[in-house]
Amino acid sequence: MRSWLRHHALSFAQTMRRFAASPFASLLNALVIGVALALPLGGYVLLANLQQFARGLVTDAQVSVFLAPDASKSDIAEIDMRLRGTQGVTRVEFVGREQALAGLKRTPGMAEVVATLRDNPLPDAFVVTLSANEPELARRLEQEIKRLPRVAHVQADSAWVQRVSGLLKFGRTAVVLMATLLSFALVAVTFNTIRLQILTQRDEIELSKLIGATNAYIRRPFFYLGAVQGMFGGLAACVIVELAIFVLNRDLAGLATLYGADAKLQLLSLTDGLAVLTFAAALGWLGTFLSVSQHLHKIEPQ
């Protein structure tokens, strides 16, 4: 057991010396892997920020019911009673046309526009809150409410939230596909790097086999080489993404100020960073395993 641990330590030390002996080539390999991983990682970070933003939005399922201009007070009372008695409705709020116009006046930049109107163009309306944020419930109630008398238009106010959720789902799928494709590229880079190392050390491998070294003993330094190379590539990807977020936040702060908001992209968490390093090291190990399995058995002492 002690000799096994000693050889692992020696293999790791040999790997680090190999990186130190050719820093420029090691840096280029890490950058290639880092750029490949930075694309899906950057997409993941953007999606995580968008998802965090979407969670902060009001997501109560609501339906706005706009009445016809000729709706009388008795019509409004009847619609109010029927809405409150509809299954799946938890709250009904009436918004009169004068109340709606007063609210529009308080909107920044709209007071001057409202002042030019001779008549109030806004209709009376009801804001109906549903018991659950379910698309099927919203569609069913929308169809039922449209059949009520003096109802001119029905609009599901939460539909845009569902669109955002759909876009986030599409984005997650795209990031997964991109990460899968670029993972193959990372494995291919590691495969070729290890293949060149095996060919470079051919004489050393033959000598090791002559004196009785097992294949497991010979493979071990290559596995460390592939895993460490992948980990350095993952580290490069994290640095690239963090720098990109820093630059974007600088410009985003100026843009958000114009709209009176405070928007800022969140950086990678420690957990995400460790996951990227682990994932990159695993891909490096996989590329090494494939390369060693294919090329090492072809080298036998003459």
Q: Give tens-digit pLDDT for 224-271.
A: 888 888 888 889 999 999 998 888 888 777 766 665 566 777 888 888
Asked whether the beta carbons of 160 and 118 are under 8 A apart, the reply is no
How far apart CA 199 and CA 257 sit, in angstroms, is 58
Instruction: Find tokens 């007070």 and name the residue.
Output: 73
SS3 content of the chain, % helix, strand, coil (to 5): 70, 10, 20
Structure tokens at 205: 């491998």
Phi, psi of 71, deg, nearest 5: -70, 125
Decide if pLDDT at 302 tops 60. no
Residue 31 has what pLDDT?
A: 85
How does pLDDT run across 126-161, given as a tens digit for each residue? 888 887 766 677 778 878 888 888 888 888 765 666
Partnered with residue 129 across adjacent β-strands are 62, 91
DSSP code string of 225-260? HHHHHHHHHHHHHHHHHHHHHHHHHHHHHHHHHHTT
Phi, psi of 153, deg, nearest 5: -155, 145
Helices and strands (H and E) in the chain: how many: 10, 4
Rounded to two decimals, the pTM is 0.64
How does pLDDT run across 97-122, given as a tens digit for each residue? 888 778 777 776 677 776 777 777 78
The mean pLDDT of the chain is: 79
Instruction: Find tokens 């294919």 and name the residue.
Output: 294
Asked whether the beta carbons of 105 and 114 are under 8 A apart, the reply is yes
Residue 135 has what pLDDT?
A: 67
